[in-house]
Structure 1
Amino acid sequence: MIIQTKFLGAVEIKEDAIITFPEGIPGFHDETQFALIPLNETSPFLVLQSVKNEQVGFMVATPYAFKADYAFDLVPEDVAQLAIEKPEDVFVYGILTLKDTLEQSTINLLAPIVINEQTKLAKQIVLPGEDEALLRYPLKKVAEGSAK
Protein backbone atom coordinates (compact mmCIF):
# COMPACT_ATOMS: atom_id res chain seq x y z
CA MET A 1 0.00 0.00 0.00
CA ILE A 2 1.13 3.56 -0.67
CA ILE A 3 1.00 6.16 2.12
CA GLN A 4 1.82 9.84 2.11
CA THR A 5 4.47 10.81 4.67
CA LYS A 6 5.46 14.02 6.39
CA PHE A 7 9.15 13.76 5.52
CA LEU A 8 9.52 11.36 2.58
CA GLY A 9 6.53 11.94 0.28
CA ALA A 10 4.74 8.85 -1.04
CA VAL A 11 6.15 5.58 0.34
CA GLU A 12 5.12 1.99 -0.22
CA ILE A 13 4.66 -0.10 2.92
CA LYS A 14 3.48 -3.65 3.54
CA GLU A 15 0.15 -3.87 5.32
CA ASP A 16 1.50 -6.56 7.67
CA ALA A 17 4.17 -4.07 8.83
CA ILE A 18 1.62 -1.62 10.24
CA ILE A 19 2.20 -0.98 13.95
CA THR A 20 -0.84 -0.44 16.16
CA PHE A 21 -0.84 1.90 19.14
CA PRO A 22 -4.13 0.88 20.85
CA GLU A 23 -4.16 4.11 22.89
CA GLY A 24 -2.55 6.29 20.23
CA ILE A 25 0.48 8.41 21.07
CA PRO A 26 0.18 11.10 23.78
CA GLY A 27 -1.18 14.19 22.05
CA PHE A 28 -2.30 12.10 19.06
CA HIS A 29 -4.81 9.67 20.59
CA ASP A 30 -6.80 9.31 17.36
CA GLU A 31 -3.73 8.14 15.46
CA THR A 32 -3.38 4.42 16.14
CA GLN A 33 -1.77 2.97 13.02
CA PHE A 34 1.80 3.78 12.06
CA ALA A 35 4.57 2.58 9.80
CA LEU A 36 8.25 2.61 10.72
CA ILE A 37 10.20 3.76 7.66
CA PRO A 38 14.02 3.94 7.49
CA LEU A 39 15.41 7.15 6.00
CA ASN A 40 17.94 5.06 4.09
CA GLU A 41 19.98 1.89 4.52
CA THR A 42 22.80 3.49 6.52
CA SER A 43 21.02 6.10 8.65
CA PRO A 44 20.25 5.43 12.33
CA PHE A 45 17.11 7.54 11.87
CA LEU A 46 13.63 6.35 10.93
CA VAL A 47 10.22 7.93 10.45
CA LEU A 48 7.32 6.77 12.61
CA GLN A 49 4.54 7.79 10.25
CA SER A 50 0.78 7.73 10.73
CA VAL A 51 -0.78 5.57 8.04
CA LYS A 52 -3.89 7.77 7.82
CA ASN A 53 -2.59 11.32 8.39
CA GLU A 54 0.49 12.45 6.47
CA GLN A 55 0.97 15.42 8.83
CA VAL A 56 1.59 13.09 11.81
CA GLY A 57 5.10 11.73 11.55
CA PHE A 58 7.99 11.62 13.99
CA MET A 59 11.70 11.20 13.42
CA VAL A 60 12.90 8.39 15.70
CA ALA A 61 16.06 6.44 16.42
CA THR A 62 17.15 3.65 18.68
CA PRO A 63 18.33 5.21 21.95
CA TYR A 64 21.25 2.79 22.19
CA ALA A 65 22.98 4.57 19.29
CA PHE A 66 23.30 7.61 21.58
CA LYS A 67 23.38 6.17 25.11
CA ALA A 68 24.76 2.63 25.18
CA ASP A 69 23.78 2.07 28.83
CA TYR A 70 20.15 3.17 28.33
CA ALA A 71 17.82 0.82 30.20
CA PHE A 72 14.40 0.74 31.85
CA ASP A 73 11.93 -1.85 33.12
CA LEU A 74 8.44 -2.30 31.74
CA VAL A 75 5.65 -2.64 34.28
CA PRO A 76 3.60 -5.86 34.07
CA GLU A 77 0.60 -3.96 32.69
CA ASP A 78 2.64 -2.74 29.70
CA VAL A 79 4.06 -6.22 29.10
CA ALA A 80 0.51 -7.63 29.08
CA GLN A 81 -0.92 -4.83 26.93
CA LEU A 82 1.80 -5.32 24.32
CA ALA A 83 1.56 -9.13 24.57
CA ILE A 84 5.32 -9.41 25.09
CA GLU A 85 6.52 -12.98 25.55
CA LYS A 86 10.26 -12.61 24.95
CA PRO A 87 12.55 -9.60 25.53
CA GLU A 88 14.12 -10.09 22.10
CA ASP A 89 10.75 -9.29 20.48
CA VAL A 90 10.87 -5.73 21.87
CA PHE A 91 12.23 -2.79 19.89
CA VAL A 92 12.73 0.60 21.52
CA TYR A 93 12.87 4.00 19.82
CA GLY A 94 13.09 7.58 21.01
CA ILE A 95 11.40 10.54 19.36
CA LEU A 96 13.81 13.15 18.07
CA THR A 97 13.52 16.91 18.36
CA LEU A 98 15.25 18.27 15.30
CA LYS A 99 16.99 21.62 15.42
CA ASP A 100 18.95 23.58 12.81
CA THR A 101 21.92 21.24 13.14
CA LEU A 102 22.31 17.63 14.19
CA GLU A 103 24.56 18.79 17.04
CA GLN A 104 21.65 20.81 18.50
CA SER A 105 19.06 18.04 18.04
CA THR A 106 17.94 15.76 20.88
CA ILE A 107 16.25 12.42 21.57
CA ASN A 108 13.57 11.90 24.22
CA LEU A 109 14.72 9.04 26.46
CA LEU A 110 12.04 9.70 29.11
CA ALA A 111 9.17 8.57 26.88
CA PRO A 112 10.40 5.73 24.66
CA ILE A 113 8.32 4.06 21.96
CA VAL A 114 8.14 0.33 22.75
CA ILE A 115 7.15 -2.03 19.92
CA ASN A 116 6.48 -5.76 20.08
CA GLU A 117 7.84 -6.87 16.71
CA GLN A 118 5.82 -10.10 16.81
CA THR A 119 2.37 -8.65 17.52
CA LYS A 120 3.00 -5.18 16.00
CA LEU A 121 1.54 -3.63 19.16
CA ALA A 122 3.20 -0.48 20.46
CA LYS A 123 3.00 2.14 23.17
CA GLN A 124 4.82 5.29 24.14
CA ILE A 125 5.85 4.64 27.73
CA VAL A 126 6.31 7.65 30.00
CA LEU A 127 8.99 6.60 32.47
CA PRO A 128 8.85 7.77 36.07
CA GLY A 129 11.19 10.61 36.99
CA GLU A 130 11.86 14.03 35.66
CA ASP A 131 15.49 13.87 34.58
CA GLU A 132 15.74 16.82 32.19
CA ALA A 133 18.92 15.34 30.72
CA LEU A 134 16.99 12.27 29.51
CA LEU A 135 14.12 14.35 28.13
CA ARG A 136 16.46 16.18 25.77
CA TYR A 137 19.46 13.89 25.40
CA PRO A 138 21.88 15.35 22.82
CA LEU A 139 22.58 13.70 19.47
CA LYS A 140 25.90 15.55 19.37
CA LYS A 141 27.86 12.38 20.07
CA VAL A 142 26.66 10.80 16.84
CA ALA A 143 27.52 13.92 14.89
CA GLU A 144 31.03 13.72 16.36
CA GLY A 145 31.25 10.03 15.49
CA SER A 146 31.66 8.87 19.09
CA ALA A 147 28.43 6.89 19.53
CA LYS A 148 28.61 3.11 19.60
Structure 2
Amino acid sequence: MKLETKYQGHIEVDEKTVLMFEKGIPAFETETSFVLLPLEEGTPFLVLQSTKTPEVAFIVINPFEFVPGYEVKLPDSTIEALEIEKPEDVATFVMLTVKEPFNDTTANLQAPVIINANKQKGKQLLMSNSPYETKHAIFKETVTTKGEK
Protein backbone atom coordinates (compact mmCIF):
# COMPACT_ATOMS: atom_id res chain seq x y z
CA MET A 1 0.00 0.00 0.00
CA LYS A 2 1.24 3.50 -0.84
CA LEU A 3 1.57 5.87 2.06
CA GLU A 4 2.43 9.54 2.43
CA THR A 5 4.50 10.09 5.57
CA LYS A 6 5.68 13.08 7.58
CA TYR A 7 9.38 12.17 7.56
CA GLN A 8 9.98 9.79 4.63
CA GLY A 9 7.71 11.24 1.94
CA HIS A 10 5.86 8.71 -0.23
CA ILE A 11 6.69 5.09 0.59
CA GLU A 12 5.35 1.60 0.01
CA VAL A 13 4.40 -0.46 3.09
CA ASP A 14 3.19 -4.01 3.47
CA GLU A 15 -0.44 -4.04 4.64
CA LYS A 16 0.51 -6.80 7.10
CA THR A 17 2.57 -4.24 9.03
CA VAL A 18 -0.39 -1.91 9.71
CA LEU A 19 -1.17 -1.58 13.41
CA MET A 20 -4.77 -1.07 14.47
CA PHE A 21 -5.53 1.19 17.43
CA GLU A 22 -9.23 0.48 18.03
CA LYS A 23 -9.82 3.70 19.99
CA GLY A 24 -7.05 5.74 18.41
CA ILE A 25 -4.53 7.58 20.54
CA PRO A 26 -5.66 10.14 23.16
CA ALA A 27 -6.30 13.47 21.36
CA PHE A 28 -6.16 11.56 18.04
CA GLU A 29 -9.14 9.23 18.50
CA THR A 30 -9.98 9.18 14.79
CA GLU A 31 -6.48 7.96 13.91
CA THR A 32 -6.80 4.19 14.26
CA SER A 33 -4.33 2.87 11.71
CA PHE A 34 -0.54 3.29 12.03
CA VAL A 35 2.74 1.81 10.84
CA LEU A 36 6.03 1.73 12.71
CA LEU A 37 8.92 3.00 10.59
CA PRO A 38 12.59 3.67 11.34
CA LEU A 39 13.26 7.41 11.64
CA GLU A 40 16.80 7.00 10.33
CA GLU A 41 18.79 3.86 9.64
CA GLY A 42 21.08 2.93 12.53
CA THR A 43 19.27 4.93 15.24
CA PRO A 44 16.98 3.70 18.04
CA PHE A 45 14.27 6.17 16.98
CA LEU A 46 11.10 5.01 15.24
CA VAL A 47 8.09 6.81 13.84
CA LEU A 48 4.55 5.76 14.69
CA GLN A 49 3.02 7.07 11.46
CA SER A 50 -0.71 7.40 10.80
CA THR A 51 -1.76 5.71 7.56
CA LYS A 52 -4.56 8.27 7.17
CA THR A 53 -3.01 11.64 8.00
CA PRO A 54 0.63 12.27 6.97
CA GLU A 55 1.11 15.01 9.60
CA VAL A 56 0.20 12.62 12.44
CA ALA A 57 3.48 10.94 13.26
CA PHE A 58 5.05 10.36 16.67
CA ILE A 59 8.74 9.77 17.33
CA VAL A 60 9.01 6.76 19.68
CA ILE A 61 11.71 4.71 21.39
CA ASN A 62 11.97 1.45 23.27
CA PRO A 63 12.04 2.83 26.84
CA PHE A 64 13.98 -0.14 28.22
CA GLU A 65 17.04 0.97 26.22
CA PHE A 66 17.01 4.45 27.80
CA VAL A 67 15.49 4.11 31.28
CA PRO A 68 17.04 1.48 33.54
CA GLY A 69 14.41 -0.29 35.66
CA TYR A 70 11.43 1.03 33.67
CA GLU A 71 8.40 -1.16 34.31
CA VAL A 72 4.93 -1.38 32.83
CA LYS A 73 2.24 -3.52 34.45
CA LEU A 74 -0.44 -4.24 31.87
CA PRO A 75 -3.98 -4.18 33.23
CA ASP A 76 -6.18 -7.15 32.34
CA SER A 77 -8.32 -4.84 30.19
CA THR A 78 -5.29 -4.02 27.99
CA ILE A 79 -4.24 -7.68 27.77
CA GLU A 80 -7.79 -8.52 26.69
CA ALA A 81 -8.20 -5.63 24.25
CA LEU A 82 -4.90 -6.41 22.51
CA GLU A 83 -5.46 -10.19 22.68
CA ILE A 84 -2.06 -10.71 24.32
CA GLU A 85 -1.33 -14.38 24.95
CA LYS A 86 2.30 -14.28 26.07
CA PRO A 87 4.83 -11.62 27.15
CA GLU A 88 6.91 -12.14 23.98
CA ASP A 89 4.00 -10.76 21.90
CA VAL A 90 4.34 -7.34 23.53
CA ALA A 91 6.38 -4.43 22.21
CA THR A 92 6.50 -1.27 24.33
CA PHE A 93 7.35 2.21 23.10
CA VAL A 94 7.16 5.71 24.55
CA MET A 95 6.54 8.94 22.66
CA LEU A 96 9.16 11.66 22.60
CA THR A 97 8.82 15.39 22.73
CA VAL A 98 11.72 16.40 20.50
CA LYS A 99 13.44 19.61 21.58
CA GLU A 100 16.32 21.82 20.50
CA PRO A 101 18.99 21.00 21.40
CA PHE A 102 18.18 17.33 20.87
CA ASN A 103 19.74 16.41 24.25
CA ASP A 104 16.77 18.19 25.91
CA THR A 105 14.31 15.74 24.30
CA THR A 106 11.94 14.10 26.80
CA ALA A 107 9.91 10.88 26.87
CA ASN A 108 6.38 10.36 28.15
CA LEU A 109 6.93 7.40 30.48
CA GLN A 110 3.38 7.69 31.92
CA ALA A 111 1.70 6.74 28.65
CA PRO A 112 3.54 3.92 26.88
CA VAL A 113 2.33 2.61 23.54
CA ILE A 114 1.69 -1.12 23.87
CA ILE A 115 1.66 -3.25 20.72
CA ASN A 116 0.76 -6.89 20.27
CA ALA A 117 3.19 -7.68 17.46
CA ASN A 118 1.41 -10.95 16.60
CA LYS A 119 -2.05 -9.44 16.22
CA GLN A 120 -0.94 -6.01 14.92
CA LYS A 121 -3.01 -4.27 17.61
CA GLY A 122 -1.94 -1.28 19.64
CA LYS A 123 -3.05 0.97 22.45
CA GLN A 124 -1.62 3.88 24.39
CA LEU A 125 -1.76 2.95 28.06
CA LEU A 126 -2.32 5.82 30.50
CA MET A 127 -0.64 4.96 33.81
CA SER A 128 -2.05 7.67 36.09
CA ASN A 129 -0.86 6.21 39.42
CA SER A 130 2.70 5.90 38.22
CA PRO A 131 6.04 7.12 39.56
CA TYR A 132 7.01 8.05 35.99
CA GLU A 133 6.92 11.48 34.41
CA THR A 134 5.36 12.73 31.19
CA LYS A 135 8.55 14.66 30.43
CA HIS A 136 11.39 12.35 31.46
CA ALA A 137 14.80 13.54 30.24
CA ILE A 138 16.20 10.53 28.39
CA PHE A 139 19.68 11.96 27.89
CA LYS A 140 20.37 13.03 31.51
CA GLU A 141 23.54 10.96 31.79
CA THR A 142 24.83 12.13 28.41
CA VAL A 143 24.30 15.79 29.28
CA THR A 144 25.95 15.43 32.72
CA THR A 145 28.91 13.52 31.33
CA LYS A 146 29.47 16.06 28.55
CA GLY A 147 29.79 18.89 31.05
CA GLU A 148 32.47 17.06 33.07
CA LYS A 149 36.09 17.30 32.02
Aligned position for 2:138: 139
2:37 is paired with a residue whose SS is: strand
Q: What is the aligned-residue RMSD (CA, Å)?
A: 1.8
| Number of the residue aligned with 1:62 | 62
Tell me: CA distance 1:71–1:100, structure 2 relative to 1, closer, same or farther (3 Å). same
Q: 8 Å contact 1:106–1:139 — kept in the other structure?
A: yes
Q: TM-score, normalised by structure 2?
A: 0.90
> Is 1:97–1:105's contact at 8 Å kept on the other side of the alignment?
yes
User: What stretches of structure 1 of length at least 5 have no aligned partner?
Assistant: none
Query: What corresponds to 1:42 in structure 2?
Result: 42
Q: Distance in 2 between matches of 1:48 and 1:72?
A: 19
- In the alignment, residue 90 of structure 2 is paired with which amino acid? V
Alpha-carbon distance, 1:28 to partner: 0.5
Report the AA paired with residue 62 of structure 1. Answer: N
Counterpart residue type for residue 76 of structure 1: D
CA contact (8 A) 1:102 1:139 kept: no
Paired amino acid for 1:140: F
Identify the residue that residue 86 of structure 2 maps to in structure 1: 86
Residue type matched to 1:14 in 2? D
Whether the 8 Å CA contact 2:95–2:112 is kept in 1: the answer is yes
Higher relative contact order (CA 8 A, sep 6+): 1
Q: Are the equivalent residues in 1 in contact too, given 2:67–2:138 (CA < 8 A)?
A: no
8 Å Cα contact 2:25-2:32 kept in structure 1: yes
The percent of aligned pairs where both chains have the same amino acid is 38
User: Where do 4+ consecutive residues of structure 1 move more than 6 Å?
Assistant: none
Match for 1:137: what amino acid? H
Structure number with larger C-alpha Rg? 2
User: Could you tell me how far 1:55 is from its partner in structure 2?
Assistant: 1.1
Answer yes or no: is 1:10 the counterpart of 2:37: no
Q: Which residue identity does 2:139 align to in structure 1?
A: K
Q: TM-score, normalised by structure 1?
A: 0.91
**Shift in CA distance, 4/143, structure 1 to aligned 2, threshold 3 Å:** farther
How far residue 42 of structure 1 moved from its aligned partner, in angstroms, is: 1.2
Which residue type is aligned with residue 43 of structure 2? Answer: S
Specify the SS of the correspondent of 1:135.
Answer: coil
User: Which deviates more from structure 2 when the two are superposed, residues 82-91 or residues 33-42?
Assistant: 33-42
1:104-128 deviations in Å (ceiling 9; x for gaps): 1101110000000000010000002
For structure 2, the residue ranges without an aligned partner over 5 or more in a row are none
